[in-house]
Amino acid sequence: DAGITQSPRHKVTETGTPVTLRCHQTENHRYMYWYRQDPGHGLRLIHYSYGVKDTDKGEVSDGYSVSRSKTEDFLLTLESATSSQTSVYFCAISSPSIRYTFGSGTRLTVV
């Protein structure tokens, strides 16, 4: 019913381990985005997708990769997590009229 869901909601991981966050939409929207939100920095774009297998880098893409094999799923992977990647991660989808709908976020802690 929410149109967009993120999983997991919370995760604690160790430095150096790979982590994958999942975003799932039921709206069939073309555009999907991954943001991170940190105090003092607002929302910063990590990567975005404009279609299946079509992705591009955002403002803070270093250390992150994404994949979109289906319209409904957009995965964000931290290849080797670092403490600087401790953050709250939000996925968003955009309608053709650029109305964004955000997921509820994933709080990631890298220890």
Partner 1 sequence: TQLLEQSPQFLSIQEGENLTVYCNSSSVFSSLQWYRQEPGEGPVLLVTVVTGGEVKKLKRLTFQFGDARKDSSLHITAAQPGDTGLYLCAGSSNNAGNMLTFGGGTRLMVKP
Q: Which residues bind partner 1 (CB under 8 A)?
A: 31, 33, 40-43, 45, 48, 50, 56, 58, 90, 92, 94, 97-105
Separation between Cα atoms, residue 101 and residue 90, nearest integer Å: 10
Query: What is the closest distance, in whole angstroms, from the C-beta atom of residue 43 to partner 1 in the complex?
Result: 4
The smaller minimum CB distance to partner 1, of residues 2 and 16, is found at 2
Work out how close the CB of 101 gets to partner 1 at its nearest, in angstroms, rounded to a whole number.
8
Between residues 83 and 97, which has the closer beta carbon with respect to partner 1?
97
**Cβ burial, residue 28 (10 Å; 0-12/13-18/19+):** exposed
Q: What is the DSSP letter of 80?
A: S
Residue 10 Cβ vs partner 1, minimum distance, rounded to whole Å: 10
Closest among 84, 106, 96 to 35, alpha carbons compared: 106
